[in-house]
A and B are shown apart, each in its own frame.
Chain A
Amino acid sequence: MLKILKYSFYDLMRSRWSYVYFLFYLLLGFVLLFLNNDVDKAVITLMNIIIVLTPLIGTIFGVMYYYNSKEFTELLLAQPINRSKIFMGQYLGISISLTLSLVLGLGIPFVLYGLFKSAAIFNFSLLLVVGAFLNFIFVALSYNIALSTENKIKGFGYAILMWLFLAVIYDGIFLISLVVFNSYPLDKFSLAATMFNPIDLSRILILLKLDISALLGYTGAVFRKFFGTNFGMLISMGVLVLWVVLPVFRMNLKLRKKDF
């Protein structure tokens, strides 16, 4: 597995896209800090970008890599190697290289601008951890889609749709249900609803550490109690881990039966 991981990783490192992705985050970090010198504020802006962009890039990279390297994968499958090892290697290769681009791209400008002296270091590390989780989750999800769909175009379509659903449509449905069922107690429901969407979960995890914790007021007391404590933090991290583990598990299941 390590060998394949290494191969996939180097393959991606050699490709132009990893560099573009890395440079994009690097530039973003520098520009943000240059424009408003306030690390706290920059973390909020970054969150807006990471929450939307990381899943999108993860999804597209995952699907693209699967279809592009399909022929080579088939070649590997002919060898006496465990199937799950091949795909796990590829999966980890993509996820790690994407996470590396994210962490280095954002980390370098922040460190240069004196992150270690600022109080925002915790928020910033949380942001990076959440970003890394999102990478792992969405690459896994897109790999699932790609494995289940032979047709390349269809696979791409489904993957983008999945991203669109989790990033935008889910929140829309969420909001509408909140408005429609206005007269019921909704805090437990909304707490549960956030758990079913990794993007929402990451967003709230970061926001509660930043600006809305107090904004939520009485209605948000449940949230603050939940996410604000170490226990809640642990649970939500656990849910994020589940979001990685479950798709990976399904991937392995699918692999075992798939006819290549």
Chain B
Amino acid sequence: MKYKIWLFFFFIFIAFAVSAKQIVVCQSCEVKTIKEAIKMAKEGDEILIKKGVYKEQDIVIDKPISLIGEKDVVIDGNNVGGILIIQTNNFKIKGLKIINVGLSYTIEYAAIKVIKANDFIIEDCVMENVFFGILIEKSKRGIIRNNKISSNRKNEASSGNGIHIWSGEEIEVYKNEMFGLRDGIYFEFVKNSIVHNNLSYNNIRYGLHFMFSNNNMYHHNEFRNNGAGVAVMFSKFTVMHHNKFRLNWGSASYGLLLKEIYDAEIHDNLFEQNTIGINAEGSTRINYKNNTFLRNGWAIKISGACYSNIFMNNDFMSNSLDLAYNSNINDNKFDNNYWSEYTGYDLDKNGIGDVPYRPVKLFSYIVNKTPEALILLRSLFVDIINFSEKVSPVFTPDDLMDNHPLMKRAITNFDTQRND
């Protein structure tokens, strides 16, 4: 028993002695390149990089150290290949500016590539003109914060993702800014992770993308001007709240794309000026609450195989079409929503309309069958057939209705102002 205690103290001593060491890299120092510094470093050391441009690629970090950049440190990859490759636990990377990652159609070059690492921090880094920004494989318990990742690639094939995590657990991604990439953030086989307060815009494909990732949460993010805001596919138990999905406006754009997802919570989000606010396909047991749909083309488009979804207390404001629905109602439920197009009355003044509201109009039904018909939007004829269908539904599912439409908006404090 006793020798164990001694051993413990011994390790403490070692750890203390090691952590005290700092290696400084600068152009006029003894150590001129980062690679050299890493070779010299021992476990727990800190490498401090001073101001300057370092043209290095394939810097492999294989021991638990901290890599810290002072102001104006630039690591330039010269568009050749990957830059930092990390294969160790317990590391920290801070304050670096990494630019010009090479493009490849076969290898995933990244500014920072992390392989099989646990307990790490990547923070305050700026990455420009990258292929992949931060690429994490088979890692656990990481924090990625305050990074700014950008690129200027033109198409999906030649661009990579900002923060790409393949097989990870308990990773926290927050306060990052991503633009000009393929996907801002991409999660594949990631569990128990949180994404919050990020800003993802002008990306070619998605602002945030989940594949086969369960038990994740994202909140207070803003997704703007992306090919599609967020895509959640083949995932379970995803929680999405207080996000803004804005201006995803284009021929095949969505605010939020849901495909084969189960047991999700979607609440307090803002969907503003998207071609389609939410496009749901094969999604089951999802609760949509307190969301605001403002001036979208379609607020919600439901494409079939959706069961047990509940839409409650949402605001549907000035959307061109509130709902497109091409299957039976199944057991989905619309209740207590506010619809700006509702024309009913409230005689008993309890705030709930006395006549049910039917969100699927005949026109939206026709457009589903014949997309070209959309050019008749806002034509007098369309208004007339919508009205007659409203009076006596023939084509639209007659049980698809909101039995208790609200007379006033459910959410009053959401800032719906344009802030750009």
Q: Which A residues form the contact surface with B (CB < 8 A)?
A: 41, 44, 47-48, 51-52, 167-172, 174-175, 178-179, 182, 186-187, 190, 194, 200, 203-204, 207, 211-212, 214-221, 223-224
Contact = CB atoms under 8 A, between A and B. Distances in A.
16 contacts: A167-B380, A172-B381, A190-B375, A200-B379, A207-B378, A211-B295, A211-B297, A212-B297, A214-B253, A215-B374, A216-B251, A216-B375, A217-B251, A218-B251, A218-B371, A219-B374
A200 B374 CA distance: 12
A212 B371 CA distance: 13
Contacts, number: 89
Nearest to A36: B318
B70 to A, nearest CB: 44
Given A41-B318, A211-B297, A214-B251, A168 B376 contact: no
Among A168, A217, A224, the most chain B Cβ lie within 10 Å of the Cβ of A217
B40 interface: no
A214 B275 contact: yes
Contacts of B305: none
Interface string B297-338: 110000000000000000000101000000000000000000
B121 interface: no
A167 B249 CA distance: 30
Contacts of B251: 214, 216-218, 220-221, 224
Contact of A168 (B275, B372, B377, B384): B384
Contacts of A216: 251, 374-375
A171 B380 contact: yes
Contacts of A217: 251-252, 275, 371, 374
What secondary structure prevails in chain A residues at the interface with B? helix
A179 B373 CA distance: 8
B351 interface: no
A224 B344 CA distance: 36
Interface of B: 249-253, 275, 295, 297-298, 318, 320, 366, 369-382, 384
Given A212-B297, A218-B251, A179 B366 contact: yes
A186 B374 CA distance: 12
B372 A171 contact: no
A182 B372 CA distance: 9
A178 B382 CA distance: 14
A175 B382 CA distance: 9
Given A182-B369, A218-B252, A175 B376 contact: yes
Contacts of A204: 375
B386 to A, nearest CB: 12
A52 B378 CA distance: 11
Contacts of A179: 366, 369-370, 373
A143 B370 CA distance: 38
